[in-house]
Every structure is written in structure tokens, then in C-alpha cells.
Amino acid sequence: MAVGIRLEAIGKRFTHPTRGEGWAVRDVTLDVPPGQFLTLLGPSGCGKTTTLRMIAGFEQPTRGRVFLGGRDVTTLMANRRDIGFVFQSYALFPHLTVFENVAYGLRIRKQAEAELRRAVDEVLELVGLAGHARQFPHQLSGGEQQRVALARAVVIRPQVLLFDEPLSNLDAKLRVHMRSEIRALQERLSITAVYVTHDQDEAMAISDRIAVMQGGRIVQLGTAEDIYARPATTFVARFIGRTNVVRGRVLGREGGALVVLVCGRRLLAGADEAPADGAEVAVLIRPETVELRPAASDHDSAVIESRVFLGEKVDYVISWQGERLLVAAYDPIRRGTFAPGDRVDVRLPTEGVRVLGDEPAP
Amino acid sequence: MRAFTGEAGGPTLANVWALLRDPAQRQAFWNSLLLGTLVGLGGTALGLLFAFAATRAGLGRAWRLALDAATVLPLISPPFTTAIAMIFSFGPRGLITYHLLGFSGGSAYGLPTTLLAETLTYFPIAYLTLRAVLAGIDPNLEDMALSLGSSRWQVFRRVTLPLAVPGLANAFLLLFAASLADFATPLILAGNSFPVLPTQAYLQITGLFDFKGGAVLSFALLVPAFGVYLLQRFWVSRRHYVTLTGKAGAQTTVKSLAPWARWPLLAGCLAVAAMVLYFYALLGYASLVRAFGADETFTLAHYRTIFTSGGKAIRDTLIIAAIGTPLGGLYGVVVGYLLARKRFAGRRTMEVVTMLNYALPGTIVGIAYLLAFNDPPLALTGGASIIIACYVFRYSPTGIRATVAILQQLDPAIEEASLGLGAGSGTTFRRVTLPLVLPAFFAGLAVMFIRSMTAISATIFLVSIDWTLITVRILENMTELALGAAAAFSVLVVALVFVALALIRLALRRLRHAAPGEMSGVLGG
């Protein structure tokens, strides 16, 4: 039965041997409804793993409270919280077989032998390791070890599943494959899950919601689409997807959109907040929304500086009105490509231009 | 320490001054330093030769096993074995000097033979240290240097050797300390012409019953020993270049050795190995003939002697080993766990104290135990308990270090995983931590047993009529010139140790799937 997770203003102070005292997590409040898959996404040192470990009970919060299914578990040890945790290093017991690794949690719970065998066999079947029960962890490949760790975490039917960068030790192809397996398993068992990663693709592929963290705080919380299309800050925009962030000035408003001056051109842009007229703002332009056409005249045209052919798209760097922009042009085989030095006209649709909530970088 | 106590019982430095003024004792001090330096240099060179051959010559499994076998023999042998063999070879009726070269009246005593015997006894320590260091140097670094245009010799001189310098220094210091503390070899071989400190201290105490003089002499030994300890701790340990990355790096074969260079390298190793084997063969032969060099008819008389009149020593040694070995193994694991996983006040002190017993020369430890437990309320001298206590505290550091090493390599997440699955910390220790440190426990057991069978420097001060040891009987036989019996005792000890090691290895193999356990910690005198 799935339960929700609630974090109330939790913070974690730490003492680092060389960097002194500091807050790993400053102030995190978060509600994960039962059955949801939430990802904590951020660069290293943003506090995402510490937050996860506080949910698990491996760390005690310095302040704030942790609730699992409405019950305050803040002071409860990890072994009393009924969680399934998947470690980055897998942390398989090297002295136990695959079967005994998976059975460990059930043995601790004094499950009857017949019941235990059935449960372990079933979950090994589920992760596709039915034939490996008698092997030892070091005899398995990285992907197989990952599956054992997953099986070991879910076999006890925990209230919540917690993942600490579980795929970062796998190669790129396997990572893509395993993340869909993890998601399928979580949906099938309908267990509430919190997943930590620094990989934005992984976060977008696997999650119901994403919480982007920076400096020990959640800076934006929403679905993948929300965050990609409407990032709150330059940091979020840069972290999710590829980005051009340029300087602009607010000229006024027209309908629901802001009118901004970017690169000497008046553009319509979306925004959450409404800065005053004349304000200097950071403007986000997503590379794939920029449209390039052969230049009709030299007036206001841009120059292709470089071109990288990637198959499904071509990446250009263009120089335009003193700014350099990254542009991604899809389906190059049917639509043709430009060569470095070509002059192009630039079109910027409103959906791809957005005023960000923070000050522009100097 | 008793060294500073005057006749009236008050503290005084007069004893130390008296020592410094006595030219004979001063000579012993310099002799000890000279011998230690030479043994350190020679042993490190031999160790490097073997280690280089083992890690860089692209040898097959069989070859490497042979190298290991040649180096493990001196490590597990009782003291005196090389000394006995030296006398058999170079003595007045020695196999080499008399029978082969035709000298008569040759002397087996003095610096050259002591040096040779100690070098051959201790070079395996250097080998084990340096093999680990050389194996830890990523071969990709050497490939890289080759690709930058270095010749093989330049690679060795500019890359491999500089990276191995901390290891070389460490090996030298280990050997220097071992030689400084070695008491058995010089007692037999050094003779009157070349007195060294440990033997002088022994003679002061057992010959003249001058406890104070013995303490002072041991104290003089403490100065260089302490210097070595400081150098190791603060100089060598900071200069360890960690080139191991933990990543299973690209497999590369080692190419830094020219094919032609393999053969002189191997020949050198083989010559040394042959010498070691020759010594042991000689020992076995001598134990089976009536009187080596004089009457070489086959007899089992020596073995009859050691099992009848020497039966008590054998029994006592085995009893002491049987009690001390599990105790020491357990002690090592418990202390290692405390040091590696728990934070408590006095942890550093505990670490230093446990290592101190190990780093100090055996004669000092023996005399200290003798003085500390000679009077009530702790009048343990003469009993088995003091010998066992001495072994447990002195030889458990190998087990401690092995435990600490395993626990440091053990991802803490493994214990957290157990916690997350619902196990309490007690259950986690029992079901996860304990099984994983078992290899360290067995390594500790092996060293405890080997040392219980072969140690002499500390325990010679602790034996009595009630409790005696094989090693002490060997010494008695040597002084009575009953060389055949001494050889027979030595062969027995080597055989016993081999059996015990084989059993432990068997137990370890059944645990092979657990964390990799190192058996290489069989160091120290």
C-alpha cells in the first residue's frame, strides 16, 4: 500500500574536515503523494542525496520533520522505517549469493521459509535474474548487480522506494534501458518513489514530478514539461536542456506576453513575473525553437559560425547582433543544412522566448 | 623503565652515562647500526630484484608460485635456521669452506656471515612490500612514458623507480628495524668479534643477572628503533603515490622490461632461491645424519631425542600456540573494528599503543614484561600466561591492520543497506560485518601461529623450567653444539607451520567469495 512522504522545512548542518561548518540542506519542504515518482535533480553538492538520506533515516535532520504516511518518523532509525533503498554502489553483500542478498530483508522479518522462497523467486523473475540465484555479486555484470539491488529493495514491499543515483555506474545504453525498467516496476508495484540524479534526461524520462535543487534548497518543482518550458531561473534553464540566455530590456506588454528588446529586435516573450518597464532581464531562447532561413538581405541577418552534424539534427553556432546563439535544426536530411559562413535570417517564435525570474548575468 | 633507576631507586641518568663511556658497549651500538644498514641495503636490493621479476617479467603462474615459495620459507622458519645452515656451510668442517674449497679452520663467525644470514632471512619482507608497490603502479603510466619516446631503461629510471621510492624507503626501514631487533642470528654467528646490542643485553641479563645493564642496553636500542618508527610514520607514509584508481583500467601488458633482460633477472632470482633452498636442504640433511661433517651415516636419533627429551618443549609450545592463536586472532579483529568504525576518546592512543608493542625490538619487550610482572601483585613470570600475553599483544597488529584495511575498503553503504532492510546494528554486525572481516581474522591467526612457533627475542626472557619453548631449546642445543638436534627441531617447526598455514589457506579458500583478504602481512620479527 503506497504512502505519501512529507518533508517539513528540513535542514542538515554538517561539519566538513576541511571546509568547516555549513548547511548541506537548508530548508526543504516537499509533499510526495502516494504512488508518485519524484526526482530530486541537481548538480553535485546541491543537497539532493542528503535529503534522500534523511528520508531513509541514514541521516538525522538538524531541523524540521519527516513524515511517512502521515506518521512522524524524524527520530526513527532507518531499520524501523520500512524503506527500500537502492545505492549508487549497489552495496550488495559480497559474501551472500544473489538469492540470499534478496532474501536478507525477509529473513530479518522472520518470514517463513516457503513464503520467502516464493517471494524471492518471484521478484528475481520480475527483474530477469531467475537463473542467477546461486551466483555471487562479483560474478554478475554491472547491470545485473543493479537488478539484484533493485530486487532486494522491492522484495520487502517497502512503503517507499528510495534511489541514490542508481544508474550512474552503468554505460549509456544500459542506463536508458534500466530507467524504463525501474519506472515500470515502480508503476506495477505502485510504490511511492524518490529518485536522486544529476542527469536531466534521466529525470525527465522517469519522473512524475521533478524537484530541481540548488544550494540546499528546492528552486523549482513541477513536471518535466513545466520545468523545461517555463524554467524559473537561469540556473534551472541551464540545468534542464540546452539553453541560450541573453540580455534583454523590457519595453512593455502586449496581451499576455512581455515585449522585450533582444539583439536590437522587439520580441514577444512569456514570463511568470512582470518586471517593470525598462528593467534589464535575462532572456531564455531554447536552441530548437530558433528558425533559420537563407538571408533575404544583409539587413539584420546572422552568420553561421560552426556546424556539427549529429544525424537527427544539426547544431549551429550563429553570430547575430553581437550575440552568439546555439541553434538546433532538426531533420537535416529532408530540410538541408547551412555551411559555415552562410548568412541566415533568424525567426524567434514567442513560445521559445522566455523572461527568467532572476537578474541577468553581468 | 628500569634504565633510569639508580641504586637507591631514585631516577638517574648515571646508568646511561656509564653505558656511553664503556667502549665495548659503544662498539656494540655502532655494530648494530652498521649491520642494520647493510642488511637494509642488501635485503632491499634482493627484494626489489624479486618484486621486479614477479610484477614486470611477465612470468607464468608456476614461476610466480616458485618465487613465492622461495620467499615464504625464511618468513616461517624458526630463528637460527639460516645461522645453523651457515655454520654447516662455512664452519670449520663446513660443506663449502672445508669440503669444497679445502680450507680448514675457517671461521663462520663475524660480520660477513651474520650479514648474509640476516639478509637471506629478512629480504622476503622487502619482497612483499615492494611487490605490492610495483603491482600498484598502473602499467598505463609506463605505456605512456614509452609512447612519449622513453627507452625502457629511461622508463624504469624516471617513472617506475621514482614511484617506488617510498616503497623502497619503507622496505629499507623495515629491514633495518628487523636486523636491529634480531637477536637469534648474531647470538650464534656474530661471535665475540662483532658484538651487537640485543645479544649484549641478553648476556647481561641471563649471564650476569644484571637487569639494569640489560635495560640500559635495550634502551640504547630503543633510540634508533624509535627513529625508524618516526621516519616511517611521518616521512614514508606521506609519500605514497596512489596510482591505483579502483577502476578496472584498460588491460595492458607490461612492456617495460626488454625480453633479453628477463633472463639475467630470473637468473639472479634463481640463484638466491637456490641458496635459500640449499640452506633448508642442508638443514634437513643434517637432522638425519649422526654428526654433520664428521659421521654422515643415516639416523633418526635426533628426532628421537627431540621427541623424548625435547617433548616438553614441543608440548608447551603447542599448548601456548593453541591458546594464544585464537585469542590473538580475536583480539586483532575486535581492536581493528573499534579502530576503523568507532569514534571514541583515546582512539589515537589505542592505535599508537597497539603498534608500539609491535614496533619495539623484541628484547626490549621481553625485558619490559620480565620487569613488569616479576613482583607481586602481578608475579606472572615463569608462567604460560605471560608468554601468551606477550604473543597476543605483540603479534596481533597484523590482524588489526588487516581488519582495518578490509573495513576501510568496505563501502559503508553495505552496512547501511542492511540497516535499510530492517536489521538493527547488532544484527548488521553479526550477519554482514563479521563475515566480511573473516579473511583478516585468518591472516591474524596465521601470523599468531607462525610467531608462536618461531619467536624468541622477547620470550627468551619469559621462559622457565615450568614452561619452555622449542625455539629456546634450539638455542640451548646450539650452545651445547648439538647441531643435529637443533636442525631436527627446526625441521619440525617448519613442518608444523606449513601444515597450519595449509589449513588456514584451505579455510580461506572456502571464503574466497568474500572480500579479498591479504595474506601478505606476515612481517616483523
What is the complex's ipTM, to 2 decimals? 0.80
Q: What is the CA radius of gyration of chain A?
A: 25
Whether residue A83 lies within 8 A of chain B, CB to CB, comes out as: yes
Who wins on pLDDT, B388 or A74? A74
Which are the contacts of B340, defined by CB distance < 8 A and separation ≥ 6? Answer: B403, B404, B407, B408
CA distance A50 to chain B (A): 14
Whether residue A104 lies within 8 A of chain B, CB to CB, comes out as: yes
CA distance B408 to chain A (A): 14
- Closest-approach residue (CA) in chain B for A108: B423
pLDDT score, position A218:
95
- Which residues in chain A are closer than 8 Å to B423, comparing Cβ atoms? 79, 104, 108
- In this model, does residue B376 exceed pLDDT 70? no
CB contact under 8 A, A152 and B514: no
* Residue B74 preceded by cis peptide, ω within 30: no
Give percent above pLDDT 90 in chain B: 1
Whether residue A136 lies within 8 A of chain B, CB to CB, comes out as: yes
Backbone φ and ψ for A204, nearest 5 degrees, come out as -70, -35
Task: Name residue A72's beta-bridge partners.
Answer: A67
CA distance B377 to A22: 54
CA distance A103 to chain B (A): 10
pLDDT score, position A38:
97
CB contact under 8 A, A95 and B416: no
CB contact under 8 A, B414 and A152: no
Cell of B136: 600498484
pLDDT score, position A121:
94
Produce one character per residue of B268-293: b if its CB has 16 or more CB atoms within 10 Å, e if not.
bbbebbeebeebbebbebbbbbebbb
- In this model, does residue B294 exceed pLDDT 70? no
pLDDT score, position A345:
93
CB contact under 8 A, B513 and A136: yes
Mean pLDDT of B409-436: 87
CA distance B175 to B179: 6
CB contact under 8 A, A84 and B418: no
CB contact under 8 A, A95 and B413: no
Give percent above pLDDT 70 in chain A: 98
- In this model, does residue B281 exceed pLDDT 90? no
pLDDT score, position B516:
40
- Which residues in chain A are closer than 8 Å to B409, comparing Cβ atoms? none
Separation of CA B166 from chain center: 20
- Closest-approach residue (CA) in chain A for B515: A94
CA distance A360 to B100: 93
- Which residues in chain A are closer than 8 Å to B407, comparing Cβ atoms? none
CB contact under 8 A, B420 and A156: no
CB contact under 8 A, A79 and B422: yes
Q: What are B68-125's pLDDT values in tens digits?
A: 777 888 877 777 777 778 777 776 666 665 555 555 555 667 777 788 888 888 888 8
Task: Name residue A16's beta-bridge partners.
Answer: A20
- Which residues in chain B are closer than 8 Å to A109, comparing Cβ atoms? 422
Task: Name residue A343's beta-bridge partners.
Answer: A303
User: For strand A37-41 and strand A20-32, is the pairing parallel, antiparallel, or unpaired?
Assistant: unpaired
pTM for the structure as a whole:
0.71
Whether residue B422 lies within 8 A of chain A, CB to CB, comes out as: yes
Of A77, A84, A89, the CB nearest to B413: A89
Grade residue B354 by pLDDT with cuts at 50, 70 and 90: confident
Count other C-beta atoms under 10 Å from residue A293's C-beta: 11
- Indicate the DSSP class of residue B432: I
Let me know the angle formed at the C-alpha of B197 by B195 and B201, rounded to the nearest 5 degrees: 105
Task: Name residue A293's beta-bridge partners.
Answer: A345
Residue A289 Cα distances to A264, A270, A327, B488, angstroms: 19, 14, 8, 91
Who wins on pLDDT, B289 or B247? B289
Mean pLDDT in chain A? 91
- Which residues in chain B are closer than 8 Å to A153, comparing Cβ atoms? 420
Which are the contacts of B146, defined by CB distance < 8 A and separation ≥ 6? Answer: B152, B155, B255, B256
Let me know the angle formed at the C-alpha of B387 by B383 and B392, rounded to the nearest 5 degrees: 140
CA distance A324 to A318: 6
Q: Which of A52, A58, A76, A79 would you mutate first to test chain B, the one with the most B CBs within 10 A?
A: A79
- In this model, does residue B517 exceed pLDDT 50? no
CA distance A199 to A38: 14
Lowest mean pLDDT among B50-59, B119-128, B321-330: B50-59
- Indicate the DSSP class of residue A211: E
Instruction: State the DSSP H helix or E strand holding residue A55, giving kind and residue range, or none if neither.
Output: helix A48-56
B73 touches B176 (CB < 8 A): no
Mean pLDDT of B300-323: 80
Whether residue B477 lies within 8 A of chain A, CB to CB, comes out as: no
Cell of B460: 627468551
Smallest Cα–Cα separation from B460: which of B200, B186, B202?
Answer: B202
Q: Which of A15, A81, A87, A160 would you mutate first to test chain B, the one with the most B CBs within 10 A?
A: A87
A30 touches A53 (CB < 8 A): no
User: For strand A83-86 and strand A160-164, is the pairing parallel, antiparallel, or unpaired?
Assistant: parallel
Which are the contacts of B326, defined by CB distance < 8 A and separation ≥ 6? Answer: B445
CA distance B217 to B219: 5
Helices and strands in chain B, H and E counts: 24, 2
Task: Name residue A31's beta-bridge partners.
Answer: A6
CB contact under 8 A, B417 and A87: yes
Grade residue B379 by pLDDT with cuts at 50, 70 and 90: low
Mean pLDDT of B515-521: 39
CB pairs under 8 A between A and B: 71
CB contact under 8 A, A152 and B421: yes
Which are the contacts of A333, defined by CB distance < 8 A and separation ≥ 6? Answer: none
- Indicate the DSSP class of residue B422: T
Count other C-beta atoms under 10 Å from residue B328's C-beta: 29
Q: What are A239-297's pLDDT values in tens digits?
A: 988 899 998 999 988 888 889 998 888 888 988 877 888 888 999 999 999 999 998 88
Grade residue B221 by pLDDT with cuts at 50, 70 and 90: confident
CB contact under 8 A, B422 and A109: yes
Whether residue B418 lies within 8 A of chain A, CB to CB, comes out as: yes
The distance between the two most distant Cα atoms of chain B, rounded to a whole number of Å, is 78
Angle between helices B470-479 and B483-509 (to 10 degrees): 160
Residues within 8 A of A (CB atoms), B 430-449 only: 431-432, 435-436
- In this model, does residue B175 exceed pLDDT 80? yes
pLDDT score, position B246:
37
pLDDT score, position B148:
78
Produce one character per residue of B372-399: b if its CB has 16 or more CB atoms within 10 Å, e if not.
ebeeeeeebbbebebbbbbbbbbbbbbb
CB contact under 8 A, A105 and B422: yes
pLDDT score, position A147:
92
CA distance A135 to chain B (A): 10
First to last CA, chain B: 22
CA distance A197 to chain B (A): 17
Separation of CA B326 from chain center: 20
Grade residue B391 by pLDDT with cuts at 50, 70 and 90: confident
- Which residues in chain B are closer than 8 Å to A105, comparing Cβ atoms? 421-422
Classify burial at A55, counting beta carbons within 10 Å of its beta carbon; exposed 0-12, middle 13-18, buried 19 or more: buried
Smallest Cα–Cα separation from A178: which of A131, A142, A152, A224?
Answer: A142
Q: What are A197-212's pLDDT values in tens digits?
A: 999 999 999 999 999 9
CA distance B280 to B282: 5
pLDDT score, position B521:
38
pLDDT score, position B170:
80
Give percent above pLDDT 70 in chain B: 77
- In this model, does residue B12 exceed pLDDT 60? no
Secondary structure class of A39 (helix, strand, coil): strand
Cell of B53: 621479476
CB contact under 8 A, B413 and A79: no
- Amino acid identity of residue B283, one-letter, is L
Lowest mean pLDDT among B51-65, B121-135, B208-222, B384-398: B208-222
CB contact under 8 A, B514 and A95: yes
A318 touches A246 (CB < 8 A): no
- Closest-approach residue (CA) in chain A for B247: A169
Whether residue A87 lies within 8 A of chain B, CB to CB, comes out as: yes
- In this model, does residue B6 exceed pLDDT 70? no
User: For strand A280-285 and strand A353-355, is the pairing parallel, antiparallel, or unpaired?
Assistant: antiparallel
- Which residues in chain B are closer than 8 Å to A136, comparing Cβ atoms? 513
CB contact under 8 A, A156 and B422: yes
Q: Please report, to the nearest 10 degrees, the dihedral formed by the alpha carbons of residues B57, B62, B67, B72 taken in order.
A: 150
Whether residue A352 lies within 8 A of chain B, CB to CB, comes out as: no
Grade residue B450 by pLDDT with cuts at 50, 70 and 90: confident
Lowest mean pLDDT among B100-114, B126-140, B429-443, B500-514: B100-114
Of B411, B436, B513, the CB nearest to A91: B411
Classify burial at B104, counting beta carbons within 10 Å of its beta carbon; exposed 0-12, middle 13-18, buried 19 or more: exposed
pLDDT score, position B524:
33
Whether residue B417 lies within 8 A of chain A, CB to CB, comes out as: yes
Which are the contacts of B313, defined by CB distance < 8 A and separation ≥ 6? Answer: B468, B469, B470, B472, B473
Of A56, A57, A79, the CB nearest to B423: A79
Classify burial at B409, counting beta carbons within 10 Å of its beta carbon; exposed 0-12, middle 13-18, buried 19 or more: exposed
CA distance A234 to A143: 35
Look-up of cell digits 641478553: B202
pLDDT score, position B106:
53
CA distance B406 to chain A (A): 12
pLDDT score, position B120:
85
DSSP per-residue letters across A219-287? EEEE-HHHHHHS-SSHHHHHHSS--EEEEEEEEEEETTEEEEEETTEEEEEB-SS-PPTT-EEEEEE-G
Query: pLDDT by residue for chain A (362 residues), tens digit each?
Result: 679 999 999 999 987 766 678 899 999 999 999 999 999 999 988 999 999 999 999 989 999 999 999 999 999 988 888 999 999 988 999 888 999 999 999 999 888 999 999 999 999 998 889 899 999 998 899 889 999 999 999 999 999 999 999 998 888 888 898 899 999 999 999 999 999 999 999 999 999 999 999 999 999 999 999 999 999 899 999 998 889 999 899 998 888 888 999 888 888 898 887 788 888 899 999 999 999 999 888 788 899 999 999 999 999 999 988 889 999 999 999 988 899 999 999 999 888 899 988 766 65
pLDDT score, position B81:
79
Instruction: State the DSSP H helix or E strand holding residue A359, giving kind and residue range, or none if neither.
Output: none
- Indicate the DSSP class of residue B157: I
H helical segments located in B6-91: 14-21, 23-56, 61-76, 81-90
Cell of B360: 619495539
CA distance B363 to B211: 12
Of B414, B419, B515, the CB nearest to A79: B419
Grade residue B249 by pLDDT with cuts at 50, 70 and 90: very low
Look-up of cell digits 613470570: B381
**Highest mean pLDDT: which range of A173-187, B24-38, B213-227, B266-280:** A173-187
- Which residues in chain A are closer than 8 Å to B431, comparing Cβ atoms? 104
**Highest mean pLDDT: which range of A121-125, B259-263, B320-324:** A121-125
